[in-house]
Structure 1
Amino acid sequence: MEPVTVIVESPRGANHKFNYEPKENRFKLAKILPAGMVFPFDFGFIPGTKGGDGDPLDVVVISEITGFPGCAMDCRIIGALKAEQTERDGKTTRNDRFLAVPVVSQLFAEVTSILHLSEAVMNQIEHFFKNYNDQAGKKFEVLSRINEEDAFKLIK
């Protein structure tokens, strides 16, 4: 499958969330995470896409490096978490999380499918997003894990 470009919003290890503001053409601090909570991997989006929540599709970048807000990476999609997010007002929308690996990664060069990630890594990613949303008074529910082919179809 062809690579997709991912733009990093919040880097791995950050305890704060940035959002890209397209109208202002800049990144803006959106929130500070509770003490001890950090992004487990780089978190960003695929430009030119639109998810069920109206924002570009969300991507978790599995890599040995840490990017920075605005860093563009060509990545291969390895799968996704199909998920629903319920807002504080009770409105529920699809808000999937795509999983990707930079094409230049050496440590994860052999990872081409979500099945290549350990159950521990998958659980950490899922629990991060559940806790992250709980802190904001929202609910995040993983509906299923899907393979790279099905994830790529959702992007297209």
Structure 2
Amino acid sequence: MSTDQDRDQLHRDGRCDVVVEIPRGSRNKYEASEDGEIWFDRRLGGPAGFPGDYGYVIGSDGEDGDALDALVLLEEATFPGVHMRCRVIGGFALQVGDIAETKLIVVPETDHHADHLRDLDDLAPAFLDELDSFFTAYRMLEEVPVSVRERLDRTTALELLVAGQG
């Protein structure tokens, strides 16, 4: 387990520890409680499952008061509760109702299939459009308006991560 000082250095180096709450492809939304239990929250109303493993960055604080969210891009889904060391490649700044949220886009540090991914620009434009579509549609049936304010390059995403150290 990392100390806060270790985690601060980790974030400055562009890396973070993510706890997966929702596996890639799932339409079930889970939330981790403060004591680490995974609870079923709801089923997504839209037709698409999560485009990557989805969770939160340990030791971070987002604009919404919760830990920063992270979407882990990988080929195979893991499972809720998995801890993973990741590299930040960018993010998405969203407006969710009245709340500003950041979703970091990360890749597992040990996934050699992702070694070439260093910034959002390394992803296919069509895939970035799919992420835009997912983030704007996944809460549609809850009637919560979601819009993508901007895509964040790696440098901007890292600034938010370092600023949001818990």
What is the CA distance between 1:42 and its match in structure 2?
0.6
**Which whole-Å deviations, capped at 9, do the CAs of 1:122-144 have from their partners, x for residues lacking one?**
11111112111212211111111
Match of 1:8 in 2: 20
Alpha carbons of structure 1 residues 152 and 34: separation in structure 2 relative to 1, 3 Å: same
Q: Identify the match of residue 154 of structure 2 among 127, 144, 148.
A: 148
CA RMSD of aligned residues (A): 1.3
SS at match of 1:59: strand
The residue identity in structure 1 corresponding to 2:15 is P
TM-score, scaled to structure 2? 0.85
The alignment covers a number of residue pairs equal to 150
> Residues of 2 paired with 1:13 and 1:74: CA distance?
21
SS in 2 for 1:129: helix
User: In structure 1, what is the equivalent of residue 141 of structure 2?
Assistant: 135
Are 2:16 and 2:58, in contact at CA under 8 Å, matched by a contact in 1? no
Larger helix proportion of the pair: 2
Does structure 2 conserve the Cα–Cα contact (< 8 Å) formed by 1:81 and 1:146?
yes
Deviant stretches of 4+, over 6 Å: none
1:41, CA displacement in angstroms? 0.8
Q: Which amino acid aligns with 1:70?
A: G
Which AA in structure 1 matches 2:99? T
Q: TM-score, normalised to structure 1's length?
A: 0.90
User: In the alignment, which of 52, 55, 72 is matched to residue 61 of structure 1?
Assistant: 72
Unpaired stretches in structure 2, ≥5 consecutive residues: 1-12
> Secondary structure in 2 aligned to 1:135?
helix
Could you tell me how far apart the structure 2 residues matched to 1:95 and 1:102 are? 22
